Amino acid sequence: MVSGATYSSAGVDLELYREGMARLPAHMRRTQCPRVMSPEGGFAALFQLDLKGLFSRGYDDPLLVSCTDGVGTKLKVAVAAGVHHTVGVDLVAMSVNDALCTGAEPLFFLDYVALSHDDPALLEQIVRGIADACVECECALVGGETAILPDMYQRGEYDLAGFCVGVVERRRLVDGRQIQPGDVALGLASSGFHSNGYSLVRQAVFEIGGLAGEARVAELGGRTVNEILLAPTRLYARPVKAVLGHYRVKQVVHGIAHVTGGGLMENLARIVPASVQIRLARGSWSVPGVFPWVQRLGGIAADEMERVFNMGIGMVLVVSPHFADSIQHQLADLGFENWRIGDVHAAGPSDDRVVLA
């Protein structure tokens, strides 16, 4: 007698799924604050926008800010290496860093994890990284979704998506429209490739360069290829919130750009009004060694490198010139290397928003 089909025979083990779900609440709890109101196991998360009493925010005209992103083909490196917590950090960084570009305080984060099969240990690694990043950003991990999709992914593969919601007072909104001639562009150091351009990185390193993930790279301190490629995206919530909070009366940060896919010039241009141009000075910041390394391995042209990668600048603050030195000192005191990388000039509507010379 042939037994009937079961969910397990179709590729989904409900017992393992439940085990995976049981491992996650502890990681979520350490990210949460009194503003999280939802009980565990509910269908939706509840978050109190304002608190009463001593910790009241006292919003006047709050705007909600929402962002979503993934990690891209960097996940292929994580799967091959068997290291999954760092891409959890990447997932948070890609959305939270975007939210910061409006001047917002990140409030809460949700994740979507799609797995090829039930794997509680793998899921816990991913969510541990997500929770670590949420703690660093003071952003509550309030929920998420785990999907087991055996026919969508090869065994061992998975995909991630993240969602961040933040809040900013309308009068404190940073959208680039305040950028004016004389302003200064400050570049904050990246930690490497972050989570962008990994289709090109993997081709250069593994296909053309012929390197294995376990190979050590002497010119980059003897780290393995996997360690280099899985360095997580830098989280900028702490320094950006500190700078914005330091100037409560006068708005001195006129624009913020998160440098992701498309490189420094393309991402910075997204916030520059048509009346001005930002002129960046080539050589005004330190380019991490990972970039010339991957360029040499893949024989990649210099203009292609600049078009795809951040080249060492993960975020740009466009600030009033009178406060530029003070902001640079604040960033340095918080452990964030930064440089004055450009200046703002008057321009016509047909001029490029950003130039690099």
Average pLDDT over the chain, rounded to an integer: 94
Query: Based on the domain organization, do 128 and 34 belong to the same domain?
Result: yes
Mean pLDDT of 19-48: 82
Token pair of 114, please?
């799609």
Query: Based on the domain organization, do 152 and 247 belong to the same domain?
Result: no
pLDDT exceeds 60 at position 175: yes
* β partners of residue 158: 115
What is the Cα–Cα distance from 294 to 127, expressed in whole angstroms? Answer: 30
- Total domains in the fold of the chain: 2
- The CATH number that applies at residue 350 is 3.90.650.10
Asked if residue 252 is part of any domain, the answer here is yes
Asked if residue 51 is part of any domain, the answer here is no
- The CATH number that applies at residue 78 is 3.30.1330.10
User: Helix, strand, or coil here: 233?
Assistant: coil
Query: Based on the domain organization, do 254 and 164 belong to the same domain?
Result: no
Mean pLDDT of 158-165: 98
Numbers of helices and strands, H then E, in the chain: 12, 12
Query: Based on the domain organization, do 160 and 251 belong to the same domain?
Result: no
Asked if residue 48 is part of any domain, the answer here is no
pLDDT at 339: 98
Query: Based on the domain organization, do 237 and 332 belong to the same domain?
Result: yes
Check if the beta carbon of residue 127 is closer than 8 Å to that of residue 111: yes
pLDDT exceeds 60 at position 18: yes
Query: Based on the domain organization, do 124 and 188 belong to the same domain?
Result: no
Check if the beta carbon of residue 302 is closer than 8 Å to that of residue 205: no
**Residue of 194 and 6 predicted with greater confidence:** 194
Asked if residue 30 is part of any domain, the answer here is yes
Asked if residue 20 is part of any domain, the answer here is yes
Quick: pLDDT tens for 200-234.
999 999 999 999 999 999 999 999 999 999 999 99
Query: How many residues does the structure list for the chain?
Result: 357
User: Helix, strand, or coil here: 1?
Assistant: coil
* Least confident stretch, 6-10, 68-72, 114-118, 148-152: 6-10
Query: Based on the domain organization, do 116 and 243 belong to the same domain?
Result: no
Confidence band (pLDDT; 50, 70, 90) for 349?
confident
Quick: pLDDT tens for 47-66.
998 888 766 888 999 999 99
Domain housing 94: 14-38+59-171
User: Helix, strand, or coil here: 234?
Assistant: coil
Query: Based on the domain organization, do 165 and 239 belong to the same domain?
Result: no
Which has the closest alpha carbon to 117: 206, 268, 13?
13
Query: Based on the domain organization, do 24 and 151 belong to the same domain?
Result: yes
pLDDT at 3: 67
Query: Based on the domain organization, do 23 and 157 belong to the same domain?
Result: yes
Token pair of 249, please?
């009366």
pLDDT exceeds 90 at position 327: yes
Query: Based on the domain organization, do 147 and 262 belong to the same domain?
Result: no
Query: Based on the domain organization, do 25 and 137 belong to the same domain?
Result: yes
